[in-house]
Structure 1
Amino acid sequence: MREIDHGMLASFLSFDSLKLVNMSSKNRFLLLIIVSAVSLAGIFATLNFGRQPTTDVQQKPLVLYCAASNRAVMESIRADYEREFGRKVEIQYGPSQTLLSSIEVTRSGDLFLPADDSYIEMGREKQLIAEVLPIARMQAVVAVKRNNPKSIEQYSDLLRDEVRLVLASPDSAAIGKVVREVLSVDNQWEPMASSASALRATVNEVANDVTIGAADAAIVYDAVLHTYEELEYVELPELADAASQISVGVIASTDQPQAALHFARYLSAQDRGLQHYAEFGFRTQGGDAWSDVPELSIFAGSMLRPAIEETIAAFEKREGIKVNRVYNGCGILVAQMKAGQHPDAYFACDSEFMNQVHDLFPEPVPVSQNELVILVQKGNPKNIRSLRDLARKDLRVGIGHEHQCAMGWITQNTFREGGIQQKVMPNVTVQSPTGDMLVNQMLTGSLDTAVAYLSNAAGASESLDAIRIQDISCSVATQPWAVAEESKYPELAGRLFQQICSQSSQGIFAAEGFRWQMDANTENDHQ
């Protein structure tokens, strides 16, 4: 910042004293106001001199490692993104394996977009890749000159002596790797590889060979040929399973994850990046609606709050989004949903309350379990040992409200199965929509005992004891998660679920008294 010239400022402020004295008092007053205003303007201008305006253009550029097969579409997307948000995106194109090796060696960059998800999985296994967002699919086909002058129509035609065949190397290019895996099943890869006149590093080099006449045929991705007007393709049944899923992965070592995820969401948005992918011949499906700062809405049973709140807050910060969460008794939440309030995702306290809104959430996933316990004051001064003791006339009992929360519904089922419902209910002085309310009343001494979840007691172990309910199977609740079929942000909600399933999150669930139910295979199916 440039220093202020104090001498010049003092001289300017002193003005010509003789002229000032000769003026009328009114004119002197006006002149002083003008001089002061000009002086202050000069000071503020000087203080701000040389200070560059803060704009998106000055932000650190994003670095994307991108498969050569996606060059044309990516340049189109980059132009739109930079124009819309002012942030530069630097892209390094090359073979997928080479790009992954570069990330592993340098631990640099923000995003990785290979030509096949197998490289994403390799990156995840090496802990190089964090979040993954699906984008599109490409199909392996045979590229030939327009009008197919060599009449290539089937696999055997590629092996003819007069056909010059070029392939992408399976050791560097995704398509070479995928085609080798598929054709090796029926021992068709080796004959084809032996017939090839050359192996190229990238799929674009393979297509270029056919374009310039250096080859008669080549196996490429269908989307690559979108920019080659002089080429067409032939689909072979042998290559039907040779397709690649394209996804973008956030590099785990990035120092700007929020910016990286912003661009990744742009790439995979149905009304932004996916429009470009479809225009360039890629096969697209689904995708979230685009929003600069999306707002995800989550309904969750109150008992789940201590298990998931920390994870949601961290997810919100990393993604640079807003998660609007509503915690309440599941009976109340179901009533709100039936009245028209439809969240993007619902985490229910028990499967019964998920079933009641099955039309909104058709694919729930069981995640955890929680069991009912009998809460008593520390040291159990009332000597309560079982459910039957709750029928004693000297007790004030609290339970969940049957129609407002899963806990109340399960409690009534447990009482009925135990044959004590009619005996215990006269002692019930409180029916609450949440277990937390019951715990608070226990802590204030308003209740002698309460039936609540083990997780409700987790934070009050210094004041309360928990007695397990024996031999009644329905006393255990299962908590399912589901994304709404009509959600605008199914992928975003899915990434939140991945974080809820993370090892650190599972540790929180365990500390809060839950049992993790979801196995690793089910977790992988929803990632």
Structure 2
Amino acid sequence: MARTRIRVAALAITVAALATACSSNDSSGSSGASSSSANSAPVTLTVFAAASLKKGFTEIAQDYEKAHPNVTVKTTFDGSSALVTQIEQGATADVIATADEKTMTSLGDSAVDPKAFTRNVLTIITAPGNPKGITSVRDLARSGVTTVLCAPQVPCGNAAATVERNTGVDIRPASEETSVSGVVTKVTSGQADAGLVYTSDAKAAGSKVAAVNDPAFAAVVNEYPIATVKGTKHGAEAQQFIDLVTGSTGQQVLSELGFGAGR
């Protein structure tokens, strides 16, 4: 109840501030876009977000829709590189949030004014009880341990590769998944003994996994940026969604899910 009251109060303050700002100026930079509070026509806002953001952005989208009854938020979650490829191939999106800044940068000027809003670090997940006795990254290269990682082009895979370089450990994964959720599935289904995922994914999996930390993870931090997509027809609504994510309401949701504070 306390969390609900805090969230509702924060959301009310955010909505009031956004209504005032949008009445004087459209900060999204898109010509002809109007605030959803002033335009009752139905709007579908398409948000592309990294797979690790699924639980948090689903909750934030619900908060947004409550504050903007004429807007439906359509979310698509996938590996960050897959989302970028979809946009480059012509997919329609109004907002994109990736799991690292490198992937966002690859969009070039198609990503308008990216802003880091949260951060994440890796952790090891195993079956409940950690039956293989894994205590560090080094154990993931041990004979008899089946490990899965994200593919190198995916932010979580790039982070894993950096950890390997930093520690001198050569992990030979049984598979390389296209998103962090694929790694979680392989471990929780018993197809792998261990996997490298984000701390937020381990927390979301709850009792389905055991989490094992390694000091090496602290040196590899993924900053998550969010941006409007160039050419959006819903610039004001997109900016309002970004403001909700970066404001107190969105930050509280993400913090409770294990994400770190943005810059």
Whether these two folds match at TM > 0.5 is yes
Classify the secondary structure of the residue corresponding to 1:129: helix
The CA distance in 2 between the partners of 1:450 and 1:337, in whole Å, is 29
Q: Following superposition, which runs of at least 4 residues in structure 1 exceed 6 angstroms of deviation?
A: none
2:236 to 474, 488, 491: 491
Classify the secondary structure of the residue corresponding to 1:305: helix
TM-score (norm 2): 0.83
Residue 480 (structure 1) aligned with residue 225 (structure 2): yes
Residue 301 (structure 1) aligned with residue 50 (structure 2): yes
TM-score (norm 1): 0.43
Offset at residue 375 of structure 1 (A)? 0.8
Q: Give the gaps of 5 or more residues in structure 1.
A: 1-123, 137-245, 248-267, 269-284, 519-527
Partner residue in 1 for 2:167: 418
The 1:359/1:129 distance shift into structure 2, 3 A limit, reads closer
Residue 500 (structure 1) aligned with residue 245 (structure 2): yes
- Asked if 2 retains the 8 angstrom alpha-carbon contact of 1:347 and 1:480, the reply is yes
Partner residue in 1 for 2:256: 511
Offset at residue 291 of structure 1 (A)? 7.7
Partner residue in 1 for 2:82: 332
Partner residue in 2 for 1:348: 98
The CA distance in 1 between the partners of 2:62 and 2:92, in whole Å, is 21
- Asked if 1 retains the 8 angstrom alpha-carbon contact of 2:80 and 2:99, the reply is yes
Partner residue in 1 for 2:155: 406
Residue 378 (structure 1) aligned with residue 123 (structure 2): no
- Asked if 2 retains the 8 angstrom alpha-carbon contact of 1:417 and 1:472, the reply is no
Offset at residue 342 of structure 1 (A)? 4.3
Within 5 Å, give how 1:80-119 maps onto structure 2: none
The CA distance in 1 between the partners of 2:177 and 2:67, in whole Å, is 36
- Asked if 1 retains the 8 angstrom alpha-carbon contact of 2:100 and 2:223, the reply is yes
Offset at residue 133 of structure 1 (A)? 5.2
Offset at residue 398 of structure 1 (A)? 0.8
Matched letter for residue 129 of structure 1: A
The CA distance in 2 between the partners of 1:394 and 1:463, in whole Å, is 21
Cα displacement string for residues 184-239 of structure 1 (whole angstroms, at most 9, x for unaligned residues): xxxxxxxxxxxxxxxxxxxxxxxxxxxxxxxxxxxxxxxxxxxxxxxxxxxxxxxx
Higher-RCO chain (CA-CA 8 Å, sequence separation at least 6): 2
Classify the secondary structure of the residue corresponding to 1:324: strand
Partner residue in 1 for 2:198: 453
The CA distance in 2 between the partners of 1:394 and 1:317, in whole Å, is 50
Cα displacement string for residues 476-495 of structure 1 (whole angstroms, at most 9, x for unaligned residues): 21100111232222211111
Offset at residue 308 of structure 1 (A)? 1.4
The CA distance in 1 between the partners of 2:80 and 2:115, in whole Å, is 17
Matched letter for residue 253 of structure 2: I
Within 5 Å, give how 1:217-256 maps onto structure 2: 246=24
The CA distance in 1 between the partners of 2:90 and 2:241, in whole Å, is 23
Q: Give the gaps of 5 or more residues in structure 2.
A: 1-11
- Asked if 1 retains the 8 angstrom alpha-carbon contact of 2:60 and 2:253, the reply is no
The CA distance in 2 between the partners of 1:497 and 1:481, in whole Å, is 7
The 1:369/1:128 distance shift into structure 2, 3 A limit, reads closer
Offset at residue 347 of structure 1 (A)? 0.5
Within 5 Å, give how 1:55-454 maps onto structure 2: 129-132=16-19, 134=21, 246=24, 286-288=31-33, 292-319=41-68, 320-403=70-153, 405-421=154-170, 424-425=171-172, 428-454=173-199
The CA distance in 2 between the partners of 1:345 and 1:504, in whole Å, is 18
The CA distance in 1 between the partners of 2:104 and 2:219, in whole Å, is 17
Matched letter for residue 51 of structure 2: S
Structure with the greater alpha carbon radius of gyration: 1
- Asked if 2 retains the 8 angstrom alpha-carbon contact of 1:287 and 1:491, the reply is no
Classify the secondary structure of the residue corresponding to 2:237: helix
Classify the secondary structure of the residue corresponding to 2:174: strand
The CA distance in 2 between the partners of 1:498 and 1:473, in whole Å, is 28
RMSD between aligned alpha carbons? Answer: 2.5
Classify the secondary structure of the residue corresponding to 1:486: coil
Matched letter for residue 509 of structure 1: L
Percent of residue pairs bearing the same amino acid type:
22
- Which deviates more from structure 2 when the two are superposed, residues 469-478 or residues 346-355? 469-478
Offset at residue 393 of structure 1 (A)? 0.8
- Asked if 1 retains the 8 angstrom alpha-carbon contact of 2:116 and 2:226, the reply is yes
Offset at residue 505 of structure 1 (A)? 2.5
The CA distance in 2 between the partners of 1:414 and 1:129, in whole Å, is 44
The CA distance in 1 between the partners of 2:230 and 2:84, in whole Å, is 16
Residue 466 (structure 1) aligned with residue 211 (structure 2): yes
The CA distance in 2 between the partners of 1:455 and 1:297, in whole Å, is 23
Matched letter for residue 222 of structure 2: A
